[in-house]
């Protein structure tokens, strides 16, 4: 039934197996910097429709692969599908961030949260995964993903994006037991959701902890890392006789990589504020590393981009276990040719690190 | 002429000399969370007038000291006084961030920058320093400050606040020589400006590098730290027979504290994402440390605030060289009583760490 995978460099690198060059993909590779994405999004009417229509989600997932020789596809979706499926009301207004209509702030709000059944409540996601796998036809592996419980929790409690995290940090320090109950609920939902993506065909999964870096070290361990570790333990780690690697990424979490490696994850995402050489030393080659070009390097001309790609490759150094990526999502106002220059540089410059 | 200082705990701690308890002040202690500040600001008409009228700047500088037993006053001003004095046009629109009317992006723009004469171009600041010193009458020391060249540069190049730093990072990677010329100009201006504050009566100075943490480690060293080190070398370090300590603070710079200690600064600010115990080990007691309660802890009730103050004090541990502070500016929507709870907890809990 499943077509054999033609390019497994990404999966091999995540498991620290030898590859002839460094594989790469880009966070938010299906996104607004591509005119073809903007056209499909216009066709969808709004962002949520784009996520919720498997044919359109599949189309934008595949777009970057038609332009660039990338080594993985990533499901086009959003980390807020879970609050949406929990009935909290989700809107994306033009020019604004996301808005949750019914934020969760009290014990009563937490008690009222329903149990998520992904194949019923997030069928549009698993349908998209199945469709993308069929369309990819074994070209490259497909990454599934979810937000970390802490990160999704910030939107759920604040009611949208936040700068100071007034409500959720008020809970964290003032009513920690309530917050733990909420995070435990989100952890169960997220584990089931990622397992449903794996069952539908996701060949690797990534947990995005976008806001873990806003926490103190102690609060990070207690309120973010702990729940990501629970997710890792609860995941189906094999499908079709092949290991399904798990990647954890805490933006701003450079100091906590050693702790993150203890969760049992296969790989860690690293943002550009930590040198990969230091990151590699911190995790003592127990996990693969993914990253970490500053996405704003893509504002510079191609020559400068090439030099910075070289610097990132050299920082990881010789040996396997590196997946090249940006240190965060590609910015919407970057010229696609600049992304192409980065991809070409990785193809050209990385083989020397694998001999 | 100068009244003897009645409370020199802050200055002593910055020089790692013994104190009977941990001194404290709060970043943005003169600010919107205080109703009396909002009243004075309303009287000033707008934020820039408030900065530019020495009597009003003096008034808001002193307000927090009337409420709380703090150990230092900090000049009320803004890091963008330098671009304003360089004639780039500065506006603060209600609800928006600052705007620079004539951003600096080309070699020509950089050539056209005038040389700053602080006693002529920023007289309102040195007048405010002299007035505040007179009004303080030796109660506590007065801190002067400036933004780091990199941080001020982000506003100067972007034309305001920025998320992705498109223009300045485009320069950093694509035209680094131009950016170095701009930063060198800002460094000279900032050094002269801080020396003018010291000559006018500032008893310690702090350099705020709010956006250094947005850089990769290599870019941080080359484009931010290097210029802060130049400032430190160029400062008048003694006044009235007493050392004028210098504090450097890079938000998100927890990994670079050892490098920062090499600049010759007396003390380093630390945000809440780094444990003070780790910070202290990193700098090997060569400098004092200032920080680092998460400002969002002040959204929690007083009991929780007290517990977190205790955690910060314990994290620094026994011995001298700690100035208690928030890890970033106090949020505008924090109840003043919560700040009072923090101050009281430091007074009550810190003496045990100094025996």
- Tell me if B3 is assigned to some domain: no
Domain count, chain B: 1
For an interface test with B, give the residue of A299, A304, A314 to mutate (most B CBs within 10 A).
Answer: A299
Mean pLDDT of B111-133: 97
Segment A168-214, tens digit of pLDDT: 999 999 999 999 999 999 999 999 999 999 999 999 999 999 999 99
Query: Is some CB atom of chain A closer than 8 A to the CB atom of B215?
Result: yes
- Tell me if B209 is assigned to some domain: yes
CATH code for position B211:
3.20.20.210
Q: What's the CA gap between A226 and A231, in Å, rounded?
A: 9
> CB A300 to CB B273 under 8 A?
no
* pTM of the predicted protein model: 0.97
Which residue's entry shows tokens 């002193």? Answer: B62
Pick from A56-60, A313-317, B2-6, B297-301: least confident: B2-6
Q: How confident is the model at residue A31 (pLDDT cuts 50, 70, 90)?
A: very high
Q: What is the pLDDT of residue B318?
A: 97
Q: How confident is the model at residue A95 (pLDDT cuts 50, 70, 90)?
A: confident
**DSSP assignment of B75-105:** ----TTHHHHHTTS-EEE-TTS-EEESS---
Query: Is some CB atom of chain B closer than 8 A to the CB atom of A310?
Result: no
> CB B273 to CB A294 under 8 A?
no
* B88 phi, psi to nearest 5 deg: -85, -5
Query: Is some CB atom of chain A closer than 8 A to the CB atom of B170?
Result: yes
Query: Is some CB atom of chain A closer than 8 A to the CB atom of B165?
Result: yes
Q: What is the pLDDT of residue A2?
A: 64
Contact call for residues B79 and B146 (beta carbons, < 8 A): yes
What ipTM goes with this model? Answer: 0.95
Q: What is the pLDDT of residue B96?
A: 78
Given the residues B78, B209, B266, B271, the one annotated as active site: B78
Q: Please, what is the end-to-end C-alpha distance for chain A in angstroms? A: 36
H helices within B160-267, ranges in order? Answer: 166-174, 176-200, 217-220, 226-234, 257-261
Pairing status of strand B90-92 against strand B73-74: unpaired
Contact call for residues A130 and A239 (beta carbons, < 8 A): no
Q: How confident is the model at residue B2 (pLDDT cuts 50, 70, 90)?
A: low
Q: How far is CA A236 from CA A191, A311, B236, in A?
A: 9, 36, 63
- Chain B nearest-CA residue for A301: B174
Q: What is the pLDDT of residue B95?
A: 73
Segment A125-178, tens digit of pLDDT: 999 999 999 999 999 999 999 999 999 999 999 999 999 999 999 999 999 999
Q: What is the pLDDT of residue A242?
A: 95
Report the candidate in A256, A262, A324 with the shortest Cα–Cα distance to residue A289: A324
- Tell me if A157 is assigned to some domain: yes
Q: At what angle do helices A226-234 and A176-200 cross, to 10 degrees?
A: 30
Which residue's entry shows tokens 């106002």? Answer: A333
Given the residues B155, B193, B227, B316, the one annotated as active site: B155
- Tell me if B39 is assigned to some domain: yes
- Chain B nearest-CA residue for A293: B216
> In whole angstroms, what separates CA B311 from the centre of its chain?
24
Query: Is some CB atom of chain B closer than 8 A to the CB atom of A215?
Result: yes
Question: Where are any strands of DSSP class E within A134-185?
Answer: 142-147
- A333 interaction partners in chain B (CB closer than 8 Å): 164, 166
- Tell me if A118 is assigned to some domain: yes
- A158 interaction partners in chain B (CB closer than 8 Å): none
Mean pLDDT of A230-240: 97
Q: What is the pLDDT of residue A344?
A: 98
Q: What's the CA gap between B54 and B60, in Å, rounded?
A: 10
Residues 6+ apart with CB under 8 A from B39: none
* B342 has pLDDT over 60: yes
- Tell me if A288 is assigned to some domain: no
- Chain B nearest-CA residue for A215: B273
- A173 interaction partners in chain B (CB closer than 8 Å): 297, 299-300, 304-305, 307-308
- Tell me if A279 is assigned to some domain: no
Mean pLDDT of B260-287: 97
Pairing status of strand A90-92 against strand A98-100: antiparallel
Burial zone of B353 (CB within 10 Å; 0-12 exposed, 13-18 middle, 19+ buried): middle
Segment B306-328, tens digit of pLDDT: 999 999 999 999 999 999 999 99
Q: What is the pLDDT of residue B94?
A: 74
- B173 interaction partners in chain A (CB closer than 8 Å): 296-297, 299-300, 304-305, 307-308
Q: How many CB pairs under 8 A join A and B?
A: 105
Chain B residues 56-85 with a CB less than 8 Å from chain A:
none
Mean pLDDT of B49-72: 98
Segment B232-241, tens digit of pLDDT: 999 999 999 9
Determine the distance in angstroms separating the CA of B125 from the nearest CA of chain A, rounded to an integer.
30
In this complex, the residue of A166, A174, A295 whose CB is nearest that of residue B333 is: A166
> CB A294 to CB B216 under 8 A?
yes
**DSSP assignment of A35-102:** HHHHHHHHHHSSHHHHHH-HHHHHHHHHHHHHHS--S-EE----TTHHHHHTTS-EEE-TTS-EEESS
* A72 has pLDDT over 60: yes
Q: How confident is the model at residue B216 (pLDDT cuts 50, 70, 90)?
A: very high
Per the structure block, which two tokens stand in for B251?
């938000």
Q: How confident is the model at residue B50 (pLDDT cuts 50, 70, 90)?
A: very high
Residue % of chain A over a pLDDT of 70: 99
* A96 has pLDDT over 90: no
Which residues of A carry out catalysis?
A: 28, 32, 41, 78, 155
Question: What value does the mean pLDDT of chain A take?
Answer: 97
Mean pLDDT of A343-355: 97
- B274 interaction partners in chain A (CB closer than 8 Å): 217, 255
> CB B173 to CB A272 under 8 A?
no
Using CA of residue B258, residue B180, residue B215, residue A94, what is the dihedral sign? positive
Range of the domain at A36: 9-267
- Tell me if A201 is assigned to some domain: yes
Determine the distance in angstroms separating the CA of A115 from the nearest CA of chain B, rounded to an integer.
29
Question: Hey, is B293 helix, strand or coil?
Answer: strand
Determine the distance in angstroms separating the CA of A218 from the nearest CA of chain B, rounded to an integer.
8
In this complex, the residue of B215, B272, B304 whose CB is nearest that of residue A216 is: B272
Q: How far is CA B311 from CA B267, B293, B297, B319, in A?
A: 21, 9, 12, 15
Residue % of chain B over a pLDDT of 90: 96
In this complex, the residue of A170, A172, A304 whose CB is nearest that of residue B173 is: A304
Q: How far is CA A207 from CA A232, A343, B119, B147, in A?
A: 9, 24, 54, 36
């Amino acid at each position: 039934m499943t077509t054999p995978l033609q390019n497994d460099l990404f999966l091999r690198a995540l498991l620290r197996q030898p590859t002839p060059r460094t594989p790469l993909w880009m966070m938010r590779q299906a996104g607004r910097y591509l005119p073809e994405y903007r056209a499909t999004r216009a066709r969808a009417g709004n962002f949520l429709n784009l996520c919720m229509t498997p044919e359109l989600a599949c189309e934008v997932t595949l777009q970057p692969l038609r332009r660039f020789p990338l080594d993985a596809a990533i499901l086009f979706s959003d980390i807020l599908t879970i609050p949406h499926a929990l009935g909290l009301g989700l809107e994306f207004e033009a020019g604004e961030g996301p808005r949750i209509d019914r934020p969760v702030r009290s014990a009563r709000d937490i008690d009222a949260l329903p149990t998520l059944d992904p194949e019923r409540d997030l069928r549009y996601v698993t349908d998209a995964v199945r469709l993308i796998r069929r369309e990819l036809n074994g070209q490259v592996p497909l990454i599934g993903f979810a937000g970390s419980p802490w990160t999704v929790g910030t939107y759920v409690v604040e009611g949208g994006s936040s700068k100071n995290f007034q409500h959720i940090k008020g809970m964290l320090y003032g009513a920690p037991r309530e917050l733990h109950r909420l995070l435990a609920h989100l952890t169960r939902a997220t584990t089931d959701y990622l397992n449903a993506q794996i069952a539908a065909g996701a060949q690797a999964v990534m947990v995005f902890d976008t806001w873990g870096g806003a926490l103190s070290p102690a609060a990070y361990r207690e309120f973010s890392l702990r729940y990501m570790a629970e997710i890792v333990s609860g995941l189906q780690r094999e499908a079709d006789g092949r290991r399904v690697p798990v990647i954890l990424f805490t933006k701003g979490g450079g100091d906590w990589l050693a702790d993150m490696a203890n969760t049992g994850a296969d790989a860690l995402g690293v943002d550009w504020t930590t040198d990969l050489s230091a990151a590699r030393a911190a995790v003592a080659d127990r996990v693969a590393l993914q990253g970490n070009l500053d996405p704003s390097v893509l504002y510079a001309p191609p020559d400068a981009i090439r030099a910075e790609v070289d610097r990132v490759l050299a920082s990881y150094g010789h040996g396997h276990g590196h997946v090249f990526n940006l240190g965060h999502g590609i910015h919407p106002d970057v010229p696609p040719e600049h992304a192409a220059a980065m991809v070409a540089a990785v193809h050209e410059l990385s083989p020397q690190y694998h001999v």
